Amino acid sequence: MSFVKGLQCRECKHGYEVAPIHVCEFCFGPLEVVYDYEAISKVLTKEKILSRPPNMWRYQELMPLDQEPTVGREVGYTPLIRADRLAKVLGVKELYIKNDAVNYPTLSFKDRVVSVAISKAKEFGFKTVGCASTGNLANSVAANAASAGLESFIFIPHDLEQGKVLGTLVFKTNLIGIKGNYDEVNRLCSEIAAKYQWAFVNINIRPFYAEGSKAMAYEIVEQLGWKTPQHIISPMAGGSLITKLWKAFKEMETLGLIKKNTARVYGAQATGCSPITTAVKKGSELFEPQRPNTICKSLAIGNPADGFYAARVMRDSGGWGEDVSDEEIIEAMKLLASTEGIFAETAGGVTLGVAKKLIEQGRLPKDESIVLCITGNGLKTQEVLLGKCGEPQIIEAKIRQFDELYEKMGA
């Protein structure tokens, strides 16, 4: 049973029936899923949630499906880690990492949105799914389409990391590399979606897809003992995740699952592709699209679809936006790994790098709770660390050689 009332334009509020559409025909505003919270609050109690298996579908009443999910039923409920060793380095008291680098099945937060999108595409009767991707979405659509027995067409900028490319091809999809950046890929995919009538998860299925991100916030609240963190830092590409984290916190307050949403939300980008944080720092509502130039390819969207709304979330919640250089990204990836044993991809370096910067700026207070959203796995972006973590010591299998080496190491 579904608690969805329909779709609604975020701008002019015109209502639409549930359908594979994503823009308002009157004002071209984005469409958003609207729920019957009154009805949900009667069935979705804490006891009900806690009685369900540990995956994101324990919040299924807040997801836009008519039936049980058919794809990615095991997604979510990733660990929330108390990061005391990292906190000490940063000089803060209460730090947590929401670790979506270990999400099922393709090790990024995109597995959440894809499970919703492909389950919904199946409800609509589509036989072919697709996406425009900066990498992680490609991996997840290919994997989930394979397990659902659907054909898939995946479009990426041609120069992505090996791990992202191979981690897509292995699922026997149709992978198309476009000679251009993500924004050019996305424009082409809009035309293809219209012409071929396929379900592009982040284009014509986008209103449903984006709802999957909310589960990350529900889980954080639950894992913190039914309260919002005081501060949460989210990486931004198209700006969808950060807006949905905020929507989810507000929903939990509406439903009475928490007393009050007191979270301040901060957005993180790479300086080499920072259209959203640049607008926030300028106090501007206007976005200037950028031509991405950063090692953080997963966040390299120069013309973000939800950038405007992402900026508004940072402003409304009392948060802020900041960005970091490629060097700072690498330093942060190494810091996270060496203090907490978590190997995050470049986007994780962006999130931690920005947190560090915000703490140094005094924007993040040292004695309040902070959650870092780690959204992707470092095994997929290994090339950025080549030559940056030292080399293994090679010796023969002889104890004498190790003795000598050990002495040299001065350990």
Question: Which residues form the interface with Zn ion (CB under 5 A)?
Answer: 9, 11-12, 14, 24, 26-27, 29
Site residues for ligand PLP, 24-83, by CB under 6 A, read none
Query: Of the candidates 31, 217, 221, 241, which one interacts with ligand PLP according to CB under 6 A?
Result: 241
For residue 3, give the 3-state DSSP assignment.
Answer: coil
76 Rama sector, left if φ>0, alpha if ψ -120 to 50, beta otherwise: left
For residue 322, give the 3-state DSSP assignment.
Answer: strand
From the list Zn ion, ligand PLP, none, partner contacted by residue 376 (C-beta under 5 to 8 A by kind): ligand PLP
Q: Which is nearer to Zn ion, 27 or 170 (CB)?
A: 27
User: Cβ of residue 305: shortest distance to ligand PLP, in angstroms?
Assistant: 8
Do 142 and 243 touch, CB atoms closer than 8 A?
no
Query: Of the candidates 163, 239, 292, 319, which one interacts with ligand PLP according to CB under 6 A?
Result: 239
Q: Which is nearer to ligand PLP, 80 or 258 (CB)?
A: 80
Whole-angstrom distance, CA of residue 311 vs CA of residue 268: 11
Q: Check residue 319 for interaction with ligand PLP (CB under 6 A).
A: no
Q: Check residue 235 for interaction with ligand PLP (CB under 6 A).
A: yes
Site residues for ligand PLP, 364-383, by CB under 6 A, read 375-376
Q: Check residue 261 for interaction with ligand PLP (CB under 6 A).
A: no
Site residues for ligand PLP, 180-219, by CB under 6 A, read none
Q: Check residue 236 for interaction with ligand PLP (CB under 6 A).
A: yes
Strand 321-324 and strand 369-374: pairing? unpaired
The tokens of 61 are what?
């009443």
Q: Check residue 160 for interaction with ligand PLP (CB under 6 A).
A: no
Do 178 and 189 touch, CB atoms closer than 8 A?
no
Q: Who's near 69: CB < 8 A, 6+ residues apart?
A: 57, 60, 63, 115, 116, 119
Q: Who's near 305: CB < 8 A, 6+ residues apart?
A: 30, 206, 238, 239, 240
- Measured from the Cβ of residue 277, the count of other Cβ atoms closer than 10 Å reads 26
Whole-angstrom distance, CA of residue 339 vs CA of residue 334: 8
User: Cβ of residue 374: shortest distance to ligand PLP, in angstroms?
Assistant: 9
Give one DSSP letter per residue of 88-132, joined into a string.
HHHT-SEEEEEEGGG-TTTSBTHHHHHHHHHHHHHHHT-SEEEEE
Whole-angstrom distance, CA of residue 127 vs CA of residue 129: 7
Do 317 and 264 touch, CB atoms closer than 8 A?
yes
Site residues for ligand PLP, 120-149, by CB under 6 A, read 136
Q: Check residue 298 for interaction with ligand PLP (CB under 6 A).
A: yes
Q: Which is nearer to Zn ion, 12 or 170 (CB)?
A: 12
Q: Check residue 347 for interaction with ligand PLP (CB under 6 A).
A: yes
The tokens of 204 are what?
């014509």
Q: Check residue 103 for interaction with ligand PLP (CB under 6 A).
A: no
User: Cβ of residue 22: shortest distance to Zn ion, in angstroms?
Assistant: 12
User: Cβ of residue 373: shortest distance to ligand PLP, in angstroms?
Assistant: 8
Q: Which is nearer to ligand PLP, 44 or 76 (CB)?
A: 76
Which among 35-43, 89-97, 237-245, 384-392 is the span making contact with ligand PLP, rule CB under 6 A?
237-245
Residue 203 Cα to chain centre, angstroms: 16
From the list ligand PLP, Zn ion, none, partner contacted by residue 241 (C-beta under 5 to 8 A by kind): ligand PLP
Q: Give the alpha-carbon dihedral of 74, 76, 80, 86, to 10 degrees.
A: 110
Q: Which is nearer to ligand PLP, 238 or 292 (CB)?
A: 238
From the list Zn ion, ligand PLP, none, partner contacted by residue 12 (C-beta under 5 to 8 A by kind): Zn ion
Query: Of the candidates 44, 118, 237, 270, which one interacts with ligand PLP according to CB under 6 A?
Result: 237
Q: Which residues bind ligand PLP (CB under 6 A)?
A: 108, 110, 136, 235-241, 298, 345, 347, 375-376
